[in-house]
Amino acid sequence: MRYSVYLLLVAALTACGPGDGSGTRPLPSTAPQGSTIVEGTQPAGSLTSTTASGLAEVLGRATEQKNIDLAQCQRIATKQAAPAEDRCPGFISEGLVATMKTCAEVGGVLRPVEVPVVSTLDVNADGKPEFLFDFTENYECDGAPSVFSCGSLGCPTSLIERVDGTWRNIGALNAEDVPAIEALAPEGQTRYGMLRGGCSGSRPCDQWAYYRWDGASYQRAMIEARGHWVDVAPGGLWTLMQDYPVLETPTADAKVVERYPAGTEVVVIGEARGAPYRYVSPCNACVSGFVLTAFLRKDY
């Protein structure tokens, strides 16, 4: 699978994310601080919790941006038009020349989609919204559509901030978490609030993902899966050591999502909090669920 030079450029920007001196704090032993929304707006399936300061507040939700002109971005990239941040934020046009070349090398022509898929969200309450942008949702290589493909799960969405005139990638968010993603009240001294999203924006949602600021970028830290907390710890591929069901919740009497034979490889997403289970995904199109750790073998 070939990746766009543009995508590589965006990914590289992550290392340049600004730090705020907050560092990484240990994950909470209960529901995450700053993760609960204002009373009366709690989404169905969400786990209610309180913090020392009471119920946390939703500071904002992602807003679609319809004023972006993707064709104009290409003209700006090729010097046929002057930069215009209101119609084309610089991070879009900066990598387009290399991307157009990559597409042309496989016999294609880079074309913008008809309706831009761009949204903004102010994650640090400074009044200047950050951008949520996935290149593959906005441009296609006509003639070679798979050249920028990321598979059935979609490409990560970049969270991009502008600091002192420079665009920086401060997070790569899972595609299913981005629609209707919201910024929650900040924790401690950090200016960057926790982010929550899931289920491609649909509500009620049975799997909410929480992204926490680690001092330089946002990392997927926790998942609330059907009312049970999972601490995200990507573990790569593991193998079922015997025929065993994938369960809806981390309990022995839980509903069976699906049963898989011994030797089935699963992707470990994280660890169930307070229970000896791993949260796994058997395949791209499969429902994620819980498996007893004792029945899994780590593949190296």
**Same domain assignment for residues 94 and 216:** yes
Strands (E), 118-227: 118-121, 130-133, 139-142, 157-163, 166-173, 182-184, 195-197, 207-213, 218-225
pLDDT value of position 273: 96
The answer to whether 279 touches 245, Cβ cutoff 8 Å, is: no
The answer to whether 225 touches 275, Cβ cutoff 8 Å, is: no
The set of residues, in sequence order, having a beta carbon less than 8 Å from that of 233 and lying 6+ positions away, is 268, 270, 271
Range of the domain at 41: 5-225
Single out the residue in 198, 225, 252 at which a domain terminates. Answer: 225
**Same domain assignment for residues 39 and 110:** yes
**Same domain assignment for residues 40 and 184:** yes
**Same domain assignment for residues 265 and 197:** no
**Same domain assignment for residues 48 and 74:** yes
Tokens representing residue 104 in the block: 């042309």
**Same domain assignment for residues 131 and 221:** yes
**Same domain assignment for residues 157 and 240:** no
3-state helix, strand, coil in the chain (%, to 5): 15, 35, 50
Written as tens digits, the pLDDT of the chain (300 aa) is 333 333 433 333 333 333 333 332 233 333 433 333 332 233 333 333 333 233 468 989 999 999 999 999 999 999 999 999 999 999 999 989 999 999 999 999 999 999 999 999 999 988 999 999 999 999 999 999 888 888 766 789 999 999 999 999 999 999 999 998 999 988 778 889 999 999 988 888 999 999 999 999 999 999 999 999 999 998 889 999 999 999 999 999 999 999 999 999 999 999 999 999 999 999 877 889 999 999 999 986
Q: Give CA–CA dist 219/194, Å, rounded.
A: 10
Distance (Å) of CA 71 to CA 97, 130, 278: 13, 22, 45
Is 281 in a helix, a strand, or coil? strand
Number of compact structural domains in the chain: 2
pLDDT value of position 43: 34
Single out the residue in 204, 225, 246 at which a domain terminates. Answer: 225
pLDDT value of position 56: 61
Q: Give CA–CA dist 57/41, Å, rounded.
A: 10
Where does residue 274 rank: exposed (0-12), middle (13-18), buried (19+ CB within 10 A)? exposed
Where does residue 103 rank: exposed (0-12), middle (13-18), buried (19+ CB within 10 A)? buried
